[in-house]
Amino acid sequence: MRHGISTTLRKGLAIAACTTLVLSTAAVADGHGDWPERDIDFIIPFGAGGGSDAWARTLSTGAREHFGVDWNLQNRPGAGATLAWEYLLDQPADGYTVLLSSPTPVLTALMEEDPLVDPYDLKVAGYISAFRSLILAANDSPMADWEGLQEAAGDSPVVIAGTNSLLAGAANIFAEAGVEAVYVPYSSTGEAVSDFLGGHVDLLAATASTSLGIVPEHAAVVMNTSDIPLPEDVDEQLGGDIAEAADFGYDACVFRARSAFTPIRRTPSWPSSLAGWSPC
């Protein structure tokens, strides 16, 4: 059954970006007081090598120590991350299949008349982190700073790669600044990074963790498009004094989703042992 999404919720979800743990709805209805009694299947909706994959592997180590069972990772990329959500819905709703999610499938659902996945068919088990979407350019590119990027875009549209969630930050800034761009969505950050380093695209939308692997040796950070400043040590490792959207008078993309997902969180509870766990 499809549920209507209010204008307010649509707006919130459309700009939200937060990593979450998701369970299918029936999995949380019975409480599962003794959960977990066996290993967990941990689904990553993106390919290996990207920021989500690295983050999931870090989380699984902490989760294994906390819960005393293995969290078996499965990478299931494709269709803007919705294939992983479809897989989750095909599994028994018993709380033993958990998805590390980003807003990508939600954004897809909001943009399509008949989306593959209805977000209301799942429950958010917990919010894990918010992230920053950074715009990167090659060190030798004239687009390595915002002024140069704007000038280059005046001649022809810039081409930027990334996953849908990360591209949302760049799209927000580019639209406000009047920058013409071609957005190339990838099913995994790792694939986008490979094409960026290979010179097949002009720019890359990436998280701070992904950026640390290629900056400053191969690329420079043009801008932090989110409203979340980088930690001081990360800022220094990425070159220092990383520009933020607000520095240029633009509205930063709000890369957090706690408020937007509140209507979902307040529906019947998830396993209390999972809800009470924090990896941070």
Q: Answer yes or no: do 181 and 213 share one domain.
A: yes
Which residues, including other chains, have CB under 8 Å from residue 197's CB and lie 6 or more apart?
Answer: 214, 218
3-state secondary structure at position 172: helix
Q: What domain count does the chain have?
A: 2
Q: What is the Cα–Cα distance from 226 to 190, expressed in whole angstroms?
A: 21
Q: Answer yes or no: do 33 and 143 share one domain.
A: no
Q: Answer yes or no: do 241 and 187 share one domain.
A: yes
- 269: domain CATH number is 3.40.190
Q: Answer yes or no: do 213 and 78 share one domain.
A: no
Q: Does residue 76 belong to any structural domain of this protein?
A: yes
pLDDT band at 136; cut points 50, 70, 90: very high
Digit-coded pLDDT (tens) for 5-44? 333 333 333 333 334 455 544 444 444 557 788 998 988 8
Residue 241: give the domain boundaries: 134-248
Q: Answer yes or no: do 150 and 46 share one domain.
A: no
Q: What is the Cα–Cα distance from 274 to 59, expressed in whole angstroms?
A: 13
The two most distant CA atoms of the chain are separated, in Å, by 62
pLDDT recorded at residue 48: 80
pLDDT recorded at residue 1: 34
Q: Answer yes or no: do 199 and 163 share one domain.
A: yes
pLDDT recorded at residue 261: 28
Q: Does residue 43 belong to any structural domain of this protein?
A: yes
Q: Which of 250, 98, 238, 81 is nearest to 169 (CA)?
A: 250
Q: Answer yes or no: do 84 and 147 share one domain.
A: no
DSSP labels, 78-133: -GGGHHHHHHHHHS-SSS-EEEEE-SHHHHHHHH-SS-S--GGGEEEEEEEEE---
Q: Answer yes or no: do 111 and 139 share one domain.
A: no
By the 10 Å C-beta count (0-12 exposed, 13-18 middle, 19+ buried), 154 is classed as exposed
Q: Which residue has the higher pLDDT, 200 or 54?
A: 200
Q: Does residue 241 belong to any structural domain of this protein?
A: yes
- 228: domain CATH number is 3.40.190.10
**Residue 18 DSSP class:** E
Q: Does residue 40 belong to any structural domain of this protein?
A: yes
Q: Answer yes or no: do 46 and 120 share one domain.
A: yes
Q: Answer yes or no: do 240 and 166 share one domain.
A: yes
Contact 183, 160 (CB under 8 A): yes
Digit-coded pLDDT (tens) for 61-120? 888 888 899 989 999 888 767 788 888 888 887 778 888 876 666 666 666 777 766 766
Q: Does residue 1 belong to any structural domain of this protein?
A: no
Mean pLDDT of 200-211: 94
Q: Does residue 280 belong to any structural domain of this protein?
A: no
Q: Which residue has the higher pLDDT, 232 or 259?
A: 232
Mean pLDDT of 252-267: 38
Q: Answer yes or no: do 242 and 270 share one domain.
A: no
Contact 264, 114 (CB under 8 A): no
Q: Answer yes or no: do 181 and 225 share one domain.
A: yes
Q: What is the Cα–Cα distance from 38 to 194, expressed in whole angstroms?
A: 37
Q: Does residue 54 belong to any structural domain of this protein?
A: yes
pTM for the whole structure = 0.61
Taking 50 as the threshold, does the pLDDT of residue 185 lie above it? Answer: yes
